């Protein structure tokens, strides 16, 4: 664990290949560290000079420090071995090689050489052919895409590891757009040394990380991944987008990160045995991340109660409940009686509880206050169509925050919400997420995420009985 710690929490960093040319990879990375990094940072460029108010050292030898924790290398591939040989002079132990031009283009010999040098001197490498590491907490940011083009998420509780730098960058941008945070981001490219197994082993014990998510095209060590994932999922959910699923994907992956194809049926079986949650798309992965980041409570079963103000949305939700292997709850006689005495005759009391297009904010609160304590359900799906005329969204938000969320915590029941529509629906969705309720823009997404959450929790609890 200590071997990888210096990638995420170094006391000092050297950027080798720092550049004074705006827009150049070495310039962007140097700017990141100059602005954000909380430790000592040094820049190296054989031309010398000054960059962002700091000296540009012509060589590593010129740097006044005796020890440097991490090096970021941004030079042509052919020069990387020579740079690696200089690093032991400063006792560097963590190396991020951003440069491409290694095994992904047929130069495995060059890649093997830098690994040999690293092992000879007790160093670890992330990369090559990657965008590296981003940790909001420590200010480590080796991503060479500028802030104005790629927004960085703030501090959060999901770690994301990826073989694809471009996919990883787009995911970071999306997380930032959605107002969520991240604990650690690692793009490891060709995985010449540090790979998905090492990262799972580290992240499973990382107190900052509640959820581990990954984009993978292949495995450097399939058996090692299985064992590491099996241990990690005992502690926290592991969500994986496994690309390279068919011959077309395999051909692209080979030239991208030199990833080898693996029979997808084998991958599926391995994931199921290790309790890894598989996602096919970015949105699906995000939906699962949202569920597990915000919810962390046990569940008793699969019985789901639906509360809605739209009949069609309620029917779609019930269909999805069946599709994803959950069960429709049945209201107890006591709850049924209370709701029937409270609501007008044209409100549908059952499952769903449909308070129709006449719904007022208080109707939602009343329905939930009766439904949540009902012993006949294990989870709630709340559906809101904000456009109905009598619904006061501010009043609804306040009621949910002050009355329903405390009740949800008291009864330890997950509530997943659906906010359907345009601008107002999006605003409500973000507000509910900020208050700890996983919220989605359509029923299928909410039910799929809830089903995944319930199955993970039930399986996890079974393993510790």
**Please, which residues have CB within 8 angstroms of residue 225's CB and are 6 or more apart in sequence?**
196, 197, 200, 219, 270
Instruction: State the residue for tokens 């809830």.
Output: 450
Q: Give the pLDDT of residue 250.
A: 46
C-alpha 120: how far from chain center: 34
> CA-CA distance, 97 to 128, in Å (whole number)?
5
Burial 266-291 (b: 16+ CB within 10 A, else e): ebeebbeebbbbbbeeeebbbbbbbb
CA separation for the pair 35, 86 (Å, rounded): 26
Helices (H), 276-420: 282-294, 311-323, 333-342, 361-371, 393-399, 405-411
Alpha carbons 40 and 298: distance in angstroms, whole number: 44
Residues 243/249, Cβ–Cβ less than 8 Å? yes
- End-to-end, the C-alpha distance of the chain in Å comes to 29
Both tokens of 389, joined, read 């005329």
Q: Contact, 102 vs 77, CB < 8 A?
A: yes
Q: Helices 443-463 and 282-294: crossing angle, nearest 10°?
A: 60
pLDDT for the residue 2: 75
Please report which residue ranges of 233-359 form alpha helices under DSSP H.
247-257, 264-274, 282-294, 311-323, 333-342
**Tens-digit pLDDT string for the chain (465 aa):** 478 999 999 999 999 999 999 989 999 999 999 999 989 999 999 999 999 999 999 999 999 999 999 999 999 999 999 999 999 999 999 999 999 999 999 999 999 999 999 999 999 999 999 999 999 999 999 999 998 899 999 999 999 999 999 999 999 999 999 899 999 999 999 999 999 999 999 999 999 999 999 999 888 888 999 999 999 999 999 999 998 765 554 444 444 444 444 678 888 899 999 999 999 999 999 999 999 999 987 899 999 999 999 999 999 999 999 999 999 999 999 999 999 999 999 999 999 999 999 999 999 999 999 999 999 999 999 999 999 999 999 999 999 999 999 998 899 899 999 999 999 999 999 999 998 999 999 999 999 999 999 999 998 755 433
pTM score:
0.90
Cα–Cα dist 37/428, whole Å: 35
Structure-block tokens of residue 77: 């591939």
Could you give the CA distance from residue 214 to residue 168 in angstroms, rounded to a whole number?
9
Handedness of CA 354, 355, 356, 362 (dihedral sign): negative
- The whole-angstrom separation of Cα 288 and Cα 394 is 27
Residue count (the chain) = 465
The reported pLDDT for the residue numbered 247 is: 57
Q: Which two tokens stand for residue 417?
A: 């919400």
Pair type for strands 379-384 and 303-308: parallel
> DSSP of 151-166, one letter per residue?
PPPEEEEEEEEES-HH
Task: Please identify which residue in the block is written with the tokens 């079986």.
Answer: 269
**pLDDT for residue 441:** 95
- Give CA–CA dist 459/465, Å, rounded: 10
Tell me: cis bond preceding 97? Omega within 30 of 0 counts: no
Backbone angles phi, psi at 10, to 5 degrees: -70, 150
Q: How far apart are CA 6 and CA 414, in angstroms?
A: 37
Residue 107 in tokens: 């130069």
**Phi, psi values for residue 21, rounded to 5°:** -85, 115
Report all structural domains of the chain as residue ranges with CATH numbers, in order of start.
1-129 (3.40.50.720), 150-294 (3.40.50.261), 297-463 (3.40.50.261)
Q: Is residue 95 within 8 Å of residue 120, measured between CB atoms? A: no
**CA gap 210, 294 in Å, rounded:** 10
Q: Which letter does DSSP use for residue 133 in this model?
A: E
**Rg of the Cα atoms in the chain:** 25
Distance CA 384, CA 446 (A): 12
- The total of other beta-carbon atoms located within 10 Å of residue 325's CB is 11
pLDDT value at position 464? Answer: 35
Instruction: Tell me whether strands 154-162 and 124-126 are parallel, antiparallel or unpaired.
Output: unpaired
Q: What is the DSSP string of 423-455?
A: HHHHHHHHHHHHTT--EESSHHHHHHHHHHHHH
**Strand 132-135 to 154-162 pairing:** unpaired
Tokens read off for 376: 């006949």
């Amino acid at each position: 664990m200590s071997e990888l710690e210096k990638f995420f929490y170094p006391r000092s960093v050297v950027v080798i290949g720092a550049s004074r040319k705006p827009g150049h990879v070495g310039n962007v990375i140097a700017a990141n560290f100059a602005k954000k990094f909380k430790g000592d940072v040094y820049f190296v460029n054989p031309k010398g000079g000054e960059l962002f108010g700091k000296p540009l050292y012509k060589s590593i030898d010129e740097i006044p420090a005796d020890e440097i924790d991490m090096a970021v290398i941004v030079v042509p591939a052919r020069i990387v071995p020579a740079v690696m040989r200089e690093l032991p002079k400063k006792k560097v132990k963590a190396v991020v090689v951003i440069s491409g031009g290694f095994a992904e283009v047929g130069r495995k010999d060059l890649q093997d050489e830098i690994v040999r040098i690293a092992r000879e001197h007790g160093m670890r490498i992330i990369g090559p052919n990657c965008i590296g590491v981003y940790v909001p907490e420590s200010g480590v940011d080796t991503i060479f895409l500028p802030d104005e083009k790629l927004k960085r998420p703030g501090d959060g509780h999901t770690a994301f590891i990826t073989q694809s730098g471009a996919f990883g960058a787009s995911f970071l941008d999306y997380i930032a757009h959605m107002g969520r945070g991240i604990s650690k981001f690692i793009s490891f490219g060709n995985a010449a040394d540090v790979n998905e197994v090492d990262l799972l082993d580290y992240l499973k014990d990382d107190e900052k990380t509640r959820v581990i998510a990954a984009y993978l095209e292949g495995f450097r060590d399939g058996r090692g991944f299985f064992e590491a994932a099996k241990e990690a999922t005992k502690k926290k959910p592991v969500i994986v987008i496994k690309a390279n699923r068919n011959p077309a994907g395999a051909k692209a992956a080979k030239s991208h990160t030199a990833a080898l194809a693996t029979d997808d049926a084998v991958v599926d079986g391995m994931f199921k045995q290790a309790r890894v949650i598989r996602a096919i798309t970015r949105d699906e992965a995000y939906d699962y991340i949202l569920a597990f980041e915000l919810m962390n409570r046990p569940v008793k079963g699969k019985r789901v109660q639906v509360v809605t103000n739209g009949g069609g949305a309620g029917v779609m939700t019930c269909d999805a409940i069946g599709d994803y292997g959950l069960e429709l709850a049945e209201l107890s006689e006591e709850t049924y009686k209370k709701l029937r005495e409270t609501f007008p005759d044209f409100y549908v009391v059952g499952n769903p509880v449909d308070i129709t297009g006449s719904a007022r904010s208080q109707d939602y609160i009343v329905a939930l206050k009766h439904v949540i304590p009902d012993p006949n359900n294990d989870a709630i799906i709340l559906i809101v169509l904000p456009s109905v005329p009598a619904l006061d969204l501010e009043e609804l938000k306040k009621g949910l925050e002050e009355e329903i969320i405390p009740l949800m915590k008291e009864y330890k029941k997950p509530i997943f919400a659906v906010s359907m529509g345009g601008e107002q629906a999006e605003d409500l969705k973000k507000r509910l997420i900020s208050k700890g309720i996983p919220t989605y823009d359509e029923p299928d997404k909410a039910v799929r995420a809830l089903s995944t959450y319930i199955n993970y929790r039930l399986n996890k609890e079974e393993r510790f009985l």
